Amino acid sequence: MLHSCLVYTRSSGSSLVSVPNQRKSSYADWNAAAFFVQTTVTSYENHYAQLEAAVEDSDGKECSNLIVLLSELYNFQVVSCVLVFDIIRGLLQDEFTEFKIELLLKITRSAFPYRGI
């Protein structure tokens, strides 16, 4: 059974963090998972905002790596799909850039891999 915690983010409002129910699970475990996810999302938002505001070209590796980390957290059922879809929705706003398309490709390939038939 999974328990959920709310994590507040600037872009998505609040999102759920799922924490596996274990016999020795405590409120501190939930706080640790929620803190980690909130820090990761906040870091992603800060790096993304810096890249959007930057005049010079930068590679954006931090932002790209944080997208992959959040996608893997979704794969391990630590965060709900609401957070992933909010990030995708944020990338689809405004005009498309090469970097936004690269981030969209990374998050969709990592979080929703094609399994084939």
* C-alpha closest to that of 41 among 65, 12, 19, 9: 9
Q: Is the residue at 82 inside a domain?
A: yes
Q: What is the 3-state secondary structure (H, E, C) of 17-45?
A: EEEECCCCCCHHHHHHHHHHHHHHHHHHH
- Over residues 26-55, the pLDDT tens digits come to 667 778 888 999 999 999 999 999 888 875
- Per-residue exposure over 107-116, b if at least 16 CB sit within 10 Å of its own CB, e if not: beebbeeeee
Range of the domain at 24: 2-111
Half-sphere exposure of residue 51: CA atoms within 13 angstroms, side-chain side:
19
Mean pLDDT of 15-20: 52
Q: Is the residue at 33 inside a domain?
A: yes
The count of structural domains within the chain is 1
Average of per-residue pLDDT values in the chain = 79
The DSSP bridge partners found for residue 8 are 14
Q: Is the residue at 117 inside a domain?
A: no
Q: Is the residue at 116 inside a domain?
A: no
Q: Cβ of 59: how many Cβ atoms within 10 Å?
A: 9
- Over residues 102-114, the pLDDT tens digits come to 999 999 999 888 7
